[in-house]
Amino acid sequence: MSTTGFAARYRAAVDARGRLCAGIDPHAALLEQWGLPVSVDGLRAFAEAAVAGLGPTAAVIKPQVAFFEAFGSAGLAVLEDTIAGCRAAGALVLADAKRGDIGSTMAAYTTAWLDEGSPLCSDAVTVSPYLGFGALSPAVEQARATDRGVFVLARTSNPDGQALQTARTAAATTVAQSIVDDGAAVNADGSATVGVVVGATREHGLDLRELAGPILSPGLGAQGATAADLASIFGDTADLAWLLPAASRSILGAGPDPAALAAAVGATRDEIEAALSS
């Protein structure tokens, strides 16, 4: 397995902490479940507890940007502190922003999320390829230059995405497979710059074996997927060493105590590792 580019940092984190991406999703119902107000003060208390519990234990942490943006500039300030706190604790941060545009606008998104001079700078960001994979070039080039990553939506679990993602291209492959193949071409240099997002709650119909990059697989826990499902869904179609299952609500439900959050990360990680190693 490559030890260059983003691959080296990703492998080091996963080797040390296991295959799990823990989400930070401070939606209103969860704030209330934690006994917090649905306000910037509640958001900050939630984020600080999540950083304390997840930061030292999870390999990758995925803040859902929308739940911070909902509070405007004050919410984004909390997100900046959350990103910095998780990275300081040794976790990689994957900003779940799902950005996608063209030209100078995509370049501006790239600066926001992948440029070291930005207070939102993360180790990787989720992006949407549905304006064309080539439109992601500014993000791909910046990520490659700075040993960061982009996680490209390929086969999502929402029913509304199925018609588009399984449509056939002129080359008779599905749109989702074409995205995976474009990512594999970028990763041919061993950098693992491009990861893909493939939901764990359904059969995906993709060949991921040549990607040579991370496969973020949301859906574990509250969305219905189990650790035992992972091997059956991905075992014959992907290199499981690159699989990165993601869980959010099933872990955050253990809060607000940081120690309980850390224990939930450990238990989920151990379930994943046992399932994928059997």
CATH number (domain holding residue 31): 3.20.20.70
The fraction of the chain above a pLDDT of 90, given in percent, is 82
Is residue 106 a part of any domain in this protein?
Answer: yes
- Just list the catalytic residues: 98
Whole-structure pTM value: 0.95
Among the listed ranges 135-144, 156-165, 176-185, which one has the minimum average pLDDT value?
156-165
pLDDT band at 278 (very low <50, low <70, confident <90, very high): low
pLDDT in tens, 44-70: 999 999 999 999 999 999 999 999 999
Measure the CA–CA gap between 248 and 228, rounded to whole angstroms: 17
Domain extent for 142: 5-271
Strand partners, 151: 126, 195
Is residue 156 a part of any domain in this protein?
Answer: yes
Mention every residue, 6+ apart, whose C-beta is less than 8 A from residue 15. none
Is residue 123 a part of any domain in this protein?
Answer: yes
Is residue 276 a part of any domain in this protein?
Answer: no
Phi, psi (rounded to 5 degrees) for 128: -105, 130
Phi, psi (rounded to 5 degrees) for 272: -65, -50
Is residue 278 a part of any domain in this protein?
Answer: no
Domain count, the chain: 1
pLDDT in tens, 180-224: 999 999 999 999 999 999 987 667 889 999 999 999 999 876 667
C-beta of residue 95 within 8 angstroms of C-beta of residue 111: no
- Mean pLDDT score of the chain: 94
